[in-house]
Amino acid sequence: MLLLKLVQSLIKALHSEGTPGQLAAGLALGSILGLTPLWNIHNAIVFALIVVLNVSFAGALLGWALFVPVGFLLDPAFDWIGRTLLLETPALRPLWTALYNAPVVPLTSFNNTVVLGSVVFALALWLPLFFASRWGVVRYRATVAERLKRSALYRMVTASKLYNLYRLFRPEP
């Protein structure tokens, strides 16, 4: 079921009306949801950005789905990054102390090693991921997409009951 949803997201995103930039921005924002622990205030902000900014929602869902397992895999690295920044970089200690004693900021759990490490990693990855995915979407649409649409497999999938079921839930343009 998860795989089916992932394939649906992929098809929906790659073949949507959005520009490659919108799709790439959505995917990059969605990656933040996937890379960082979900139930945190910063992810509410990221979600609000996905909704308010004119980025591909389907791309964001795809980015989220793709990067959740990556987040689990990289948790030890996030822990190390967070520990280094919070405990082993004396120059940053005044900043953390100020943030820790400021209203609301501690509610983001920035002082957790995994949360801070994953957020820093996701933010650092954001721009490279944006440009890479935009280039990838452009190349895909220019080369593979048209050929794929003409392929027997695609026609078979799109003609299947499964695809019809998917179309029932497809958001209107």
Partner 1 sequence: MRVAVFRWKALVPLLIFGMVGLGVWLLFADRIATRTAESVGTTLVGAEVEIERVHLDLPHGRVEIRGLTVASPFEALQNLLQADVLVADVDPLPLLEKKVVIDRLTATGLRFGTARATDGRRGTASDGLMGQVNHWGDQLRVPALELVTGKLEVGRLDPAQLNTPRAAAALAARADSARRAWDASLSGLNAAAIADSARRMVEGLRGAKPTDVKLLGDARRTLGQLKQAQDRATALQRSVTTGSAALQAGAAGLADARQRDYAVARGLLKLPGLDAPDIGAALFGSVAVDRFQRALYWVELGRRYMPPGLLPRATPGPRRARRAGETVRFPREHEEPAFLLKTAQLSLQLGAAGAAPPRTYAASVSGVTSDPALYGRPATASAAAPGFRLGALLDHVRPTPRDSAAASLAGVALPSLALPSLPVRLEPGVGTMALSFSVQGDQVRARWTVQAERVRWTRDSSAAAAPSSIGDLVWRVVSGIPAVEVSASLAGTIARPQLAVSSNLDRALAERLRAVAGAEVAAAERRIRAQVDSLVDGHVAPVVAQVTALGGDMTRRLGGQQAQLDDARKALEQRLRDFTRLPGVRLP
Binding site for partner 1 (CB under 8 A): 19, 21-22, 37, 39, 48, 51-54, 71-72, 75-76, 78-79, 82-83, 86-87, 93, 96-97, 100-104, 106-107, 109, 111-115, 117
Q: What is the CA radius of gyration of the chain?
A: 19
Cα(72)–Cα(57) distance, rounded to whole angstroms?
Answer: 23
> Nearer Cβ to partner 1, position 37 or 154?
37
> Nearer Cβ to partner 1, position 47 or 163?
47
**Closest separation in Å from C-beta 44 to partner 1:** 8
Cα(10)–Cα(154) distance, rounded to whole angstroms?
Answer: 14
Both tokens of 11, joined, read 């098809």
Q: How far is CA 31 from CA 42, 64, 73, 147, in A?
A: 13, 5, 14, 28
**Closest separation in Å from C-beta 50 to partner 1:** 9
**Closest separation in Å from C-beta 138 to partner 1:** 15
**Closest separation in Å from C-beta 38 to partner 1:** 8
**Closest separation in Å from C-beta 14 to partner 1:** 18
- Three-state DSSP state, 114: helix
> Nearer Cβ to partner 1, position 68 or 157?
68
| DSSP 8-state class, residue 54 | T
> Nearer Cβ to partner 1, position 76 or 128?
76
φ and ψ at residue 123, rounded to 5 degrees? -65, -40
